[in-house]
Amino acid sequence: MTEGKLPEDPAGREVAVPAASAAPAAPVASATPAAPAAPAAPDDAQRLREEIERTREHLGATVEQLAAKADVKGRAQARATELARQLTWQARSVAVQARKQAAHAGQQAAVRAGSVRGSLTASSADSRQKAIAAGQGAPVPARQPAAQGPDAARKRQVQLSAAAAAVGVLAAIAFLAWQRRKR
């Protein structure tokens, strides 16, 4: 620093020097006792220290905010984590809803299969009675298919039960697809 000029910071700009720092660093001994300092000077120095501290805190917060904005990778990772959390939640809720609907469809299929089974059992008993009655007077080649009637009815019952279950599953899938299109 040269005389008559203000000090410069590392960037080459002139820096204002507070009045308190213009005084020499060490007190100069003199023959006369030092005059008491004005009472306003300590308050000014204290106010300056407080202002400097506030400025430092504000500057630190600003630097932290700028660093957070500049951290693109960190922000992208945070956003990806948030999206993954949302997708996981949505997938779980859809899975729970699908399980409920599948259980309901299964119950409906079981009820329908039970009613079909009951009607098949009743009709097969009737058919068996009629076949026995008709078979008594029928020739031998006609008796053989009549004897297979109950087995054929049982096979038909299994096929109908499987078809009812498949219809229930397809109904559940169609409902889920309809729900997704609705969103």
DSSP string, 110-151: HHHHHHHHHHHHHHHHHHHHHHHHHHHHS-HHHHHHHHTHHH
Is 36 part of a structural domain of the chain? no
Give the residue-averaged pLDDT of 32-49: 68
Q: Could you tell me which residues come within 8 angstroms of residue 102 by beta carbon, excluding any fewer than 6 positions away?
A: 169, 172
Is 120 part of a structural domain of the chain? yes
Q: What is the pLDDT of residue 98?
A: 87
Is 35 part of a structural domain of the chain? no
Q: What is the pLDDT of residue 25?
A: 47
User: CA triplet 134, 140, 145: central angle to 5 degrees?
Assistant: 65
109 vs 14: which has the higher pLDDT: 109
Partner residues linked to 8 by β-bridges: 14
Is 57 part of a structural domain of the chain? no
Q: Give the pLDDT band of residue 166 (cuts 50, 70, 90).
A: confident
Q: Could you tell me which residues come within 8 angstroms of residue 70 by beta carbon, excluding any fewer than 6 positions away?
A: none
79 vs 162: which has the higher pLDDT: 79
C-alpha dihedral, 133 to 134 to 138 to 142, nearest 10°: -120
| pLDDT of 150 strictly over 80 | no
Is 50 part of a structural domain of the chain? no
Categorise residue 18: left if φ over 0, alpha if ψ from -120 to 50, beta otherwise: beta
Q: What is the pLDDT of residue 53?
A: 96
Q: What is the pLDDT of residue 91?
A: 87
Domain range holding 173?
Answer: 72-135+146-182
Q: Give the pLDDT band of residue 107 (cuts 50, 70, 90).
A: confident
Picking from 14-18, 27-31, 157-161, which range would have the lowest pLDDT averaged per residue? 27-31
Give the residue-averaged pLDDT of 135-164: 66
Is 157 part of a structural domain of the chain? yes
Give the integer Cα–Cα distance in Å for 7 and 47.
Answer: 23
For the chain, what is the domain count? 1
